[in-house]
């Protein structure tokens, strides 16, 4: 099935992320920052970690809680060990994805399992609808070979982490926010179309080479927010010299967003409750 589109979306903005330290001192490019949460609803955060310097990542992310959201970790290169208070443990290796629904609350740790070499990956935060924020925590690891993929006639290689693309059903589906999450590798001179409903918020991030969207350049390590052009039926990405991007899109929740660090709820009262529950040990413990 082709996803050929007739009217492509324009680019609204191209922006660089913010360099931040998180966890125990991990150097990150925060691509989707808090200021963009409303614009890119239902997505709350996108972090990109990319380094061959162990000092940038080796301290990892020791035990910390989450409530009210889902975290989606995609390891482009490297190995990260995950443990949580629900007794889950997994190793995220090159090409793997971990989808974690924090729901009512988990405490987990994410620690590098390598002392040298390249560590590169993304963590995306997807909001939960109000009615699901206190759901039972859940998680699943997908090894690289479990991520559905296909190659177009143009030689574009696509991994479908979530949603649908060209008739291929991704590893994960979510009913309310209908997230699409693709890793798209475009050889020089190729073009790629992805159908997207006009009301869904969408962005892409270039992490190899440079791509073009509706005549606008998206250089390496830059994010493009795609306009919600009313009559557009998708996005067209071209790569005159080759490039690789992640494309993320979803249906907005249009609900209030109240965030305090790793807790994302709808009201301040729910945030106070999360902090209190955490202090009272209701999120459980995780082995370091
Ligand atoms: Mn976390």
* Burial zone of 138 (CB within 10 Å; 0-12 exposed, 13-18 middle, 19+ buried): middle
For residue 265, pLDDT over 60 is answered with yes
- The model's pTM is 0.96
Q: What is the pLDDT of residues 127-174, one digit of tens each?
A: 999 999 999 999 999 999 999 999 999 999 999 999 999 999 999 999
Q: What's the CA-to-centroid distance between 108 and ligand 1, angstroms? A: 6
For residue 287, pLDDT over 70 is answered with no
Q: What's the CA-to-centroid distance between 287 and ligand 1, angstroms? A: 14
**Mean pLDDT, rounded, for 75-86:** 93
Question: Measured between alpha carbons, how far is residue 114 from residues 54, 92, 201, 215 in Å?
Answer: 9, 12, 36, 41
Q: What's the CA-to-centroid distance between 288 and ligand 1, angstroms? A: 13
Q: What's the CA-to-centroid distance between 23 and ligand 1, angstroms? A: 9
**pLDDT category of residue 87 using cuts at 50, 70 and 90:** confident
Q: What's the CA-to-centroid distance between 71 and ligand 1, angstroms? A: 7
Residues 92 and 112: their CA atoms lie apart, in Å, by 9
**pLDDT category of residue 193 using cuts at 50, 70 and 90:** very high
Q: What's the CA-to-centroid distance between 115 and ligand 1, angstroms? A: 21
Q: What's the CA-to-centroid distance between 199 and ligand 1, angstroms? A: 29
Q: What's the CA-to-centroid distance between 107 and ligand 1, angstroms? A: 8
Q: What's the CA-to-centroid distance between 57 and ligand 1, angstroms? A: 14
For residue 286, pLDDT over 80 is answered with no
Q: What's the CA-to-centroid distance between 109 and ligand 1, angstroms? A: 7
How much is the pLDDT for 2?
64
Q: What is the pLDDT of residues 105-132, one digit of tens each?
A: 999 999 999 889 999 999 999 999 999 9
Contacts with 131 (C-beta within 8 Å, 6 or more apart), sequence order: none
- What is the average pLDDT score of the chain? 95
**What whole-number percentage of the chain has pLDDT above 70?**
98
Q: What's the CA-to-centroid distance between 155 and ligand 1, angstroms? A: 35
Q: What's the CA-to-centroid distance between 64 and ligand 1, angstroms? A: 6
Q: What's the CA-to-centroid distance between 43 and ligand 1, angstroms? A: 15
The secondary structure of the chain, three-state, reads CCCCCCCECCEEEEECCEEEEECCCEEEEEEECHHHCCCCCCEEEEEEEEECCHHHCCCCEEEEEEECEEEEEEEEECCEEEEECCCCEEEECCCCEEEEECCCCEEEEEEECCCCCCEEEEEEEEECCHHHCCCCCEEEEECHHHCCEEECCCCCEEEEEECEECCEECCECCCCCCCEEEEEEECCCEEEEEECCCCCEEEEEEEEECEEECCEEECCCCEEEECCCCCCCEEEEEECCCEEEEEEEECCCCCCCEEECCEEECCHHHHHHHHHHHHCCCCCCCCC
Shortest CA distance to 262 belongs to which of 75, 99, 67?
Answer: 67
Q: What's the CA-to-centroid distance between 70 and ligand 1, angstroms? A: 10
Q: What's the CA-to-centroid distance between 62 and ligand 1, angstroms? A: 9
**Mean pLDDT, rounded, for 80-86:** 91
Contact 181, 124 (CB under 8 A): yes
How much is the pLDDT for 3?
78
Residues 211 and 217: their CA atoms lie apart, in Å, by 6
Q: What's the CA-to-centroid distance between 77 and ligand 1, angstroms? A: 18
Q: What is the pLDDT of residues 266-278, one digit of tens each?
A: 999 999 999 999 9
* Homologous superfamily of domain range 11-254: Jelly Rolls (2.60.120.10)
For residue 288, pLDDT over 70 is answered with no
What residue spans define the domains of the chain?
A: 11-254
How much is the pLDDT for 120?
96
Q: What is the pLDDT of residues 42-68, one digit of tens each?
A: 999 999 999 999 999 999 999 999 999
**Mean pLDDT, rounded, for 9-18:** 96
């Amino acid at each position: 099935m082709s996803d050929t589109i007739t009217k492509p979306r324009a680019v609204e903005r191209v922006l660089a992320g913010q360099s931040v330290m998180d966890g125990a001192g991990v150097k990150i490019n925060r691509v989707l920052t808090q200021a963009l949460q409303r614009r890119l609803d239902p997505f709350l955060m996108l972090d990109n970690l990319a380094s061959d310097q162990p000092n940038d990542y080796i301290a990892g992310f020791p035990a910390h809680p989450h409530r009210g959201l889902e975290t989606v970790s995609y390891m482009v290169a490297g190995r990260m060990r995950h443990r949580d208070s629900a007794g889950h443990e997994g190793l995220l290796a090159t090409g793997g994805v971990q989808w974690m629904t924090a729901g009512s609350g988990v405490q987990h740790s994410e620690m590098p399992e390598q002392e040298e070499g390249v560590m590169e990956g993304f963590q995306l935060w997807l909001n939960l609808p109000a009615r699901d924020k206190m759901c039972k925590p859940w998680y699943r690891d997908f090894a690289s070979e479990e991520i559905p993929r296909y190659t177009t006639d143009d030689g574009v290689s696509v991994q479908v982490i979530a949603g649908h693309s060209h008739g291929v059903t991704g590893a994960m589906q979510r009913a309310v926010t209908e997230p699409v999450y693709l890793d798209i590798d475009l050889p020089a001179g190729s073009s790629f179309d992805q159908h997207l409903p006009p009301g869904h918020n969408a962005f892409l991030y270039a992490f190899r080479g440079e791509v073009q969207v509706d005549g606008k350049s998206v250089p390496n390590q830059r994010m493009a927010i795609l306009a919600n052009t009313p009559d557009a039926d998708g996005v067209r990405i071209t790569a005159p010299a080759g490039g690789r991007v992640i494309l993320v899109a979803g249906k907005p929740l249009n609900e209030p967003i109240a965030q305090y660090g790793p807790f994302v709820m709808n009201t301040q009262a729910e945030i106070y409750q999360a902090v209190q529950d955490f202090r009272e040990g209701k999120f459980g413990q995780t082995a370091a």
